[in-house]
């Protein structure tokens, strides 16, 4: 069993205007918290990890598989492994996401 106490100082900028705080990970999943500034963008990309997210606050627009999804607080999403996707941050946003398998580059 693993427990982690909240640490407000452990965010790291991974893209301009986008910060990540890894919360906890197990043997096959990683839970992370993202702070995204209004106007920032997640460029189109893909990775082998399944990605499940939940928007706590703010507003974001996602693009994947030829579809557009406007996310508001309480909305969630799932990108399959190797699925190309991108996002625009419409308002300052707070997101929690799970990656499986673990994204090793997010363990800092």
Beta bridge pairs of residue 70: 61
- Report the 10 Å Cβ neighbour count for 44: 11
Q: Which domains does the chain have, with CATH numbers?
A: 38-101 (2.60.120.10)
For residue range 47-99, list pLDDT tens digits in order. 999 999 999 999 999 999 999 999 999 999 999 999 999 999 999 999 999 99
How much is the pTM? 0.93
Q: Does the pLDDT at position 1 exceed 80?
A: no
Which of 30 and 8 is assigned the larger pLDDT?
A: 30
SS (H, E, C) 54-103: EEEEEEEEEEECCEEEEECCCCEEEECCCCCEEEEEEEEEEEEEEEECCC
């Amino acid at each position: 069993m693993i427990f982690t106490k909240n640490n407000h100082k452990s965010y790291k900028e991974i893209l301009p205007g986008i910060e990540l705080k890894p919360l906890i990970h197990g043997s096959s999943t990683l839970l992370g918290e993202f702070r995204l500034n209004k106007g920032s963008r997640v460029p189109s990309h893909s990775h082998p990890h399944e990605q499940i997210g939940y928007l706590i606050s703010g507003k974001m627009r996602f693009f994947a598989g030829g579809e557009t999804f406007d996310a508001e607080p309480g909305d969630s999403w799932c990108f399959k492994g190797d699925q190309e996707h991108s996002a625009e941050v419409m308002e300052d946003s707070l997101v929690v996401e799970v990656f499986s398998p673990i994204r090793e580059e997010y363990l800092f």
